[in-house]
Structure 1
Amino acid sequence: MLNKYNHLLVIGTPIAWWLSQTKVRFKFLIETMVALPIVLPPTVLGFYLLIFLGPQGSAGKLVSYLGGPSLIFSFTGLVLGSIVYSMPFVIQPLQHAFSVIDKRADETAATIGFSRLRRFFYLFLPLSKTGYLSAFVLGFAHTLGEFGIVLMIGGNIPGETQVASISIYNYVEMLEYEKAHTLSLLLLLISFTLLAIIYSLRIRFGRY
């Protein structure tokens, strides 16, 4: 899962940076696309990803042509779907963190010869560390509750694509309520702790 968050940050950081700095007229369309997984039913997103990543889909055909493994009903496909589904929970906190940084600090760094790339690494990244922490916590917490998209792309393969939320569903179907309760309580405690961290950061820093 750490690899998943590495990919989320690598993909999400430049998008969040661009959205926080650009003033192009179609910016709202990009923001809409980024936020879409928040409101879109997971099964809808999962269905289209299943088509896209499947043997007859664009990505599936390309990977097959290159000799790669199947992207559906596999851990690789599960991670790809999870990245797409979790993207807004990473991009939005980072975009906000970048956008609230004092513009005067950026202008001052520019006047003394700092390039845009250097200002990003030496100014924006250090001042956005709380935003990165929020992005990590929200992304991780969101992963705990993934169900529909995981089931659509990864299936329900024990030991490979079966996640906690699906395990709870299986326990309930088998009337093993004690196991379902134990796992549900664990996820509840983890989710509560992660959200408490987010809100404590907001109180402490007054932003993000």
Structure 2
Amino acid sequence: MLGLAKRVGARFLLTSTSEVYGDPLEHPQKETYWGNVNPIGVRSCYDEGKRTAETLTMDYHRGAGVEVRIARIFNTYGPRMCIDDGRVVSNFVAQALRKEPLTVYGDGKQTRSFQYVSDLVEGLIRLMEGEHIGPFNLGNPGEFTMLELAKVVQETIDPNAKVEFRPNTEDDPHKRKPDISKAKELLNWEPKIPLHKGLPLMVSDFQQRIFGDQKAGDSATAAL
């Protein structure tokens, strides 16, 4: 893709990830932080793959003059996510709707920051239309433990949903929270939709896809 951008003179967008920070020793994470990544860990294929992608992107920019933009995307959720993609928000929502226990790995005290998809899209548009290369953290600074996220899901879908603890995965980052000062200053961007407002929009979409139009309609009528 970088070679194609070079040939046709296109502006290239790399959607990188907060995973480049690994299990961070800095909190919240600024773009200047180089990260704490295990290069041979079970997660390293994704972490190091994205770090290498950033390296290649900047090499093409410096060496070949390709116009590039780099966004480091933090956890994003919303309608149209794959229902069984394994991400924590989609896991919790699908489990609660199916009357299954919410699976929490480890003690549930690890934190993540969740941004609604439309906030991310707005950030990417501003990045591509602006003159700043980045990298830019694009994420919602609202920080939740997994147990706090489970509680929000319970409040939104089913207060009686159970929580089931399972052994944690290897190299799971303990904390994740973006410092978005750079995006605020240079892109005039910050997220606007908090979790408690965005999650119900995602739940409605999941409900319709899991149970079909009739079930979603019945539930909406019952809620009224």
Common fold by TM > 0.5: no
Q: Which has the higher strand share?
A: 2
TM (normalized to structure 1)?
Answer: 0.28
Answer 1 or 2: which has greater helix percent. 1
